[in-house]
Structure 1
Amino acid sequence: MLGVSLLIGLYYGVYKGGQNTVTEYLLGNKQMSLFPVTMSLISSQISGVTLLGVPTEIYTYGSQYAAVILSNILVALVTLVIFLPVFYKLQLLSLFEYLELRFSKSVRVVASLLYVVSTILFIPVVIYGPALAVNQVTGLDIHLVTPIVCSVCIVYTTMGGLKAVVWTDAVQGVTMVFAVLAVVILGVIRAGGITAIFQKASEGDRLEFFNMDPDPKLRLTFWSSAFGMIVPWSTGISVGPAAYQRFNSLPSLKQAKVALFWLTVGIYMLLVPSLFLGLVIYAMYKDCDPLSSKAISRPDQIVPYFVLDVTENIKGLPAIFVVGVCSAALSTMSTGLNTMAGTIYEDFIEPCLKKKLSDEKASSILKILAVIIGAVCVSLVFMVEKLGAIIQISNSFGGVTAGAILGIFTLGVLIPPANAKGALVGGIAGLCATSFMIVGSQLSLTKELIKYPMKTVSTMGCTGNVTRLIINETEIIFEEGVWPIHRISLFNLGLVGFAIVLIVGITVSYITGPTTLGLLNPDLVSPLVHCFLPKKDYKPVQLKDVSINGNNVKK
């Protein structure tokens, strides 16, 4: 897989001309076809966190996380109706340029910075999971696997630009689907069939879908899974720069909408088997928990352990699963590098230049940025292994900025009276609040001042020299010294941040003087709120020219 990915990067980077303009590097010259773009969207949204973290979550805490299925439908509808019609029409190289057009340059810079920081924090989590899987299957040291895999990703992303990223994502996406389905099917056979799996899951109290308790301190309920997860998913899809980079690479809005539909379908094709895999693993180890029996050292190793167990007589299948997991990491990392390079250049470097650089020099800077960002992400991987379960870590890191970013864009697209001061103050307020809450919660969890109850596990059926025990934790433990605000579940914090941005943003906007609706261009707000704007002729939104195939054209 590494070799194929590298060859694709060399093909588009050398044979096809090196992606030597900004438009080529970031948008593939707007000549991308529907299939690879759709597969790239799916691959970039499904990471190793999904393939490794979701089954572990179901095995450890039960199936309540499965309510996230509902949130994905809502995110798709929000994207289709509210955000996609606005952002596709504008055709921006950097999505954050919208915030300068709608509000001010300072709002654009703040939101861009939030995105860059959150992505740099998230990518190491994405890389760590597959490195752990490779270590479990092959015995290779994590600190050796990580630089090798990431170096290949950096090379093909840097050389081939968006075209290489999209086509490697397509190949990797197909591999991911095959790997997950193969392992699930074998697991069902080994566990005695679907009926036996659900029976054992029910006996082990793993089936839980409608915990309607509104207490925000509970780790996960129907509300935090179905609605709390809307914020991080929307930040990646509805207002995600990487997603819109791919939507905008398609030649028409109709194709972009079709790509969104298949993105939603594709997410379910990988998410649902990953959810079910957690129940399959529990059915296999109901009476001999691998963690309690010391077969593994941390919960995130249980999926690779299971894969080795059920495929021990089928040569090559463990490798295919590792390839699928690594593919998930590669696709997410390459997407992040490509999009972050474009964001940093468009939002921070180009505005500081006295004169516009040539396309060749600009694309060279983009490639250098991709290399630097990749190196930083690799160095941060070693921090991740000292933290908790990867599904929880990813929500923690994503929650720091997700609510603030989604809130700022929502103010712009859905709240016509919102002004620049409201967006800026609201965004900063949301960021500060969620940062304080998440840092405090994560420190409390690391110090074990907060302990969430896990579902019952047993080693009564283990063979060999294993202590026979049944572990049944039933209550959340909050030690003294944990502030009430730090007791709120990490799965709720993105939604809290989003609400703070909207409340503060709208309030400040009205206090400082709301935007005059007669001066607001309808192209900058969702069609849903056009009825609130005065009917008049507007000047087109002024955007800079871009170069396509060597010709300057209006965007």
Structure 2
Amino acid sequence: MNTIDIIVFLAYIIGIAAFGGSFFKKNRTSTSYTVGNKDIPGWVVTMSIFATFVSSISYLALPGSAFLTNWNAFAFSLSLPIASFIAVKFFVPLYRKINSPSAYTYMEQRFGPWARIYVSMCYLLTQLMRIGTILYLLALTLNAIVGWDITTIIIITGVVVAIYSMLGGITAVLWTDAIQGIILIVGAIACVGYILINMPDGPGQVMDIAFSNDKFGLGSFDLELSDSTFWVVLIYGIFINLQNYGVDQNYVQRYMASKSEKAAQRSALIGGLIYVPVSALFLFIGTALFAYYNAADSLPLELQDATKSDRVFPYFIVNALPAGLSGLLVASIFAAGMSTISTSFNSSATVFLTDYYNKYFKKNATDKEGMKVLYISSAVISIIGITIAIAMINVKSALDAWWKLASIFSGGMLGLFLLGIMSKTKNIIGAIIGTIAGILVILWLSLSDMLFGEDSIGNYFHTYLTIVLGTVVIFLTGFIISLLSKNKTD
């Protein structure tokens, strides 16, 4: 990157931090910090929900996936309309009726305090790993592009996001998310335009090369459960997005920040649907890069390794794009990551205040005390997240294992939530047994190759199906036990 690119990038970082911090005056109470003042425009909430879907991981991984193979990942995007419709119909009205800043108040209402502690703890653990992972990947990308020290990038990025998210609360998070969502879309469109214009035989050459190499395929339509077929990815997408819309504090908090129930439903629907064409745009970038390098017959040697497909897009940004546009694209990658991190900071602090401090330490805390807890918890969460990111530099394998364990236990959240929604009885024993059974299934599927070798039954299911089968087991076990207990009581 040259001087112009660095100026563009730094201007973005400074500008977004200053913009987020400008909402400090509207962030004087714990309520305004967690759910806002009910004055946030609907389009801002909508774009914030969209930006929450997109992280720097997907910004780099989707082009890399399309470059290496095809559009199989788009099956995940096609699941979003289904999950969005269910959220609008059932989830948004439920949370607006409960009227709590925390998504996990409902779990206690249905199954008692243990359920609330279980799902909220799973959420916090997952968010810490998410913050650390994204900070590390952002630093790794910028280090490869500019050469700056990875640790320094992690610390500066984490501190900047923590400061503006703490100063401005949820209002700053939503507004900066919206701006960052627009930036990453503009950056992606600009990149596609540049590739099409610079094809040797014109824009049509991209389509010719792509179709001749079957780059637009959605994957196999066979009913094979051990491969990432279209159906496996689609089903996985439905379940993971139901978990996002139904159990994830990041989304529920946006429902509560909307002006009304209708506004929340509209934002949930449109925010999810926007991701469908944008993910197609990311995938098209990967396909266009495949055509671009094939037409030029000049794929760099360091990118010919299939395991390095995620580096294709950053390499193109630095080595092919003109001055200024490179800086915009790097800012786009950071926009995707920073929007996710700021959301995790604010939502995690909200969960700590609502589900722990107000519940078990001081039920009648004043607003001043609540704000103090929010600031301290946000700072602690940011420090832990930064520490995890720095630790990933040298002990990434150990932290990968931690991330895998966090995913294992968070896999039970959706099943318990669906059991609460669809079961009419309040059978705590059934819920506990169902949750334990589901976690055991998830553990078995995740660790079967390590524990039982390659011939384990678990190896007949693709990794994507872990959350699907775990959720189904939790729901069915809990539902059947609750049903039998109800009949026995009658």
TM-score (norm 1): 0.78
- Does the alignment pair 1:211 with 2:215? no
Percent sequence identity over aligned pairs: 24
Give the distance between the partners of 2:485 and 2:155, measured in 1 at CA.
Answer: 50
User: Which residue of 296, 302, 306 maps to 2:316?
Assistant: 306
Separation of aligned partners in 1, 2:402 and 2:42: 29
Equivalent residue letter for 1:491 = Y
Residue 18 of structure 2: aligned partner? 7
Residue in 1 that maps onto 2:463 = 490
For each residue in 1:230-273, what CA deviation from the matched residue of structure 2 results, as whole angstroms up to 9, or x when unmatched? 22222222332111211111221111122123202321242111
Contact 1:177 1:269 in 2 (8 A): no
1 CA distance for matches of 2:232 and 2:403?
12
Write out per-residue CA displacement over residues 501-537 of structure 1, whole angstroms, 9 at most, x where no aligned residue: 11221123234447999xxxxxxxxxxxxxxxxxxxx
Range that drifts further, 204-213 or 239-248: 204-213
How far off is 1:436 after superposition? 4.3
How does 1:434-445 map onto structure 2 within 5 Å?
A: 434-439=442-447
Q: Is the 8 A contact 1:403 1:501 kept in 2?
A: no
How has the CA–CA distance of structure 1 residues 426 and 481 changed in structure 2, closer, same or farther, with 3 Å as cutoff?
same
What is the alpha-carbon distance in structure 2 between the residues aligned to residue 292 and residue 432 of structure 1?
42
> For residues 405 and 220 of structure 2, what CA distance do their matches in structure 1 show?
25
Query: Match of 2:198, SS?
Result: helix
Residues 293, 12 of structure 1: CA spacing in aligned structure 2 closer, same or farther, 3 A cutoff?
closer
Q: Who is 2:257 aligned against?
A: 249
- Give, as a single letter, the amino acid of the residue that structure 1 aligns with 2:463: L
Match of residue 187, structure 1, among 187, 195, 200: 195
Q: 1:515 to 1:346 in 2, by over 3 A?
A: farther
> Is structure 2 residue 439 aligned with structure 1 residue 428?
no
RMSD value, Cα? 2.9
Deviation at 1:370, TM superposition (A): 1.1
1:160 pairs with one of 151, 168, 183: 168
Are the aligned partners of 1:418 and 1:506 in contact in 2 as well (CA < 8 Å)?
Answer: no
Q: 1:246 to 1:112 in 2, by over 3 A?
A: same
Partner amino acid for 1:95?
Answer: A
Where does 1:91-130 land on structure 2 (aligned, <5 Å)? 91-130=99-138
Amino acid at match of 2:206: I
The structure whose residues are more often helix, as a share, is 2
Q: Call closer, same or farther: CA 1:175–1:77 in 2, change over 3 Å.
A: same
Contact 2:35–2:253 (CA under 8 A) maintained in structure 1: yes
**Alignment match of 2:419 (pick from 408, 411, 431):** 411
Q: Deviations for 1:357-391, whole angstroms, at most 9, x for unmatched residues?
A: 21111111111111111122222225656769xxx
Q: 1:283 to 1:129 in 2, by over 3 A?
A: farther
Q: Which amino acid aligns with 2:218?
A: F
What amino acid is the match of 1:506?
A: F
Post-superposition Cα deviations, 1:429-484, rounded to whole Å, max 9, x if no partner, equal 3234324433556x79xxxxxxxxxxxxxxxxxxxxxxxxxxxxxxxxxx965634
- Calculate the TM-score normalised by the size of structure 2: 0.88
Amino acid aligned to 2:242: S
Residues of 2 paired with 1:352 and 1:515: CA distance? 35
Counterpart CA distance in 2 for 1:260 and 1:515 is 41
The one of 264, 268, 271 aligned to 2:272:
264
| Superposed displacement of residue 402, structure 1 | 5.1
SS at structure 2 position matched to 1:490: coil
- Secondary structure at the aligned position of 1:63 is classed as coil
SS at match of 1:93: coil
| Secondary structure, aligned partner of 1:182 | helix
The Cα of 1:48 is off from its aligned counterpart by: 0.8
The DSSP-based 3-state class of the residue aligned with 1:31 is: coil
User: 2 CA distance for matches of 1:130 and 1:206?
Assistant: 28
Given the alignment of the two structures, is residue 47 of structure 1 paired with residue 55 of structure 2, yes or no?
A: yes
Distance 2:96 2:405 in 1: 28
2:85 matched residue in structure 1: 77
Structure 1 residue 274 displacement after superposition: 0.7
CA separation of 1:485 and 1:296: change in aligned 2, threshold 3 A: closer
Matches for 1:454-533 after TM superposition, within 5 Å? 481=454, 483-486=456-459, 488-513=461-486
SS in 2 for 1:227: helix
Change (3 A) 1:144 1:114: same
DSSP-derived class of the 1:406 partner: helix
Supply the distance in 1 between the matched residues of 2:299 and 2:279 (Cα, whole angstroms).
Answer: 24
Report how far residue 195 of structure 1 moved. Answer: 3.6
How far off its partner does 1:338 sit?
Answer: 0.6
Give the letter aligned to residue 211 of structure 2.
Answer: S
How many pairs are equivalent? 473
Which residue, 335, 340, 345 being the options, matches 2:348?
A: 340
Q: Is the 8 A contact 2:78 2:234 kept in 1?
A: yes
C-alpha separation in 2, matches of 1:480 and 1:424: 30
Deviations 1:49-91 (A, max 9, x none): 2211111122223221111232011111111122122112221
Where 1:229 maps in the other structure, the secondary structure is: helix
Give the 3 Å change call, closer, same or farther, for CA 187–421 of structure 1 in structure 2: farther
C-alpha distance in structure 1 between counterparts of 2:488 and 2:38, whole Å: 34
How far apart, in 1, do the equivalents of 2:424 and 2:300 lie?
Answer: 55
Query: Could you say what secondary structure the match of 1:214 adopts?
Result: coil
CA distance in 2, matches of 1:82, 1:242: 17
- State the alpha-carbon separation in 1 of the partners of residues 202 and 131 from structure 2: 36
Distance 1:61 1:432 in 2: 34
CA distance in 2, matches of 1:230, 1:297: 27
Verify the 8 A CA contact 2:68 2:306 in the aligned structure 1. Answer: no
Give the Å deviation of 1:275: 1.4
Equivalent residue, structure 2, for 1:359? 367
Q: Which residue of 2 aligns with 1:534?
A: none
1 CA distance for matches of 2:245 and 2:148?
Answer: 35
User: 1:195-252 deviations in whole A, cap 9, x for unaligned?
Assistant: 422332333343322512222221x111121111222222222332111211111221
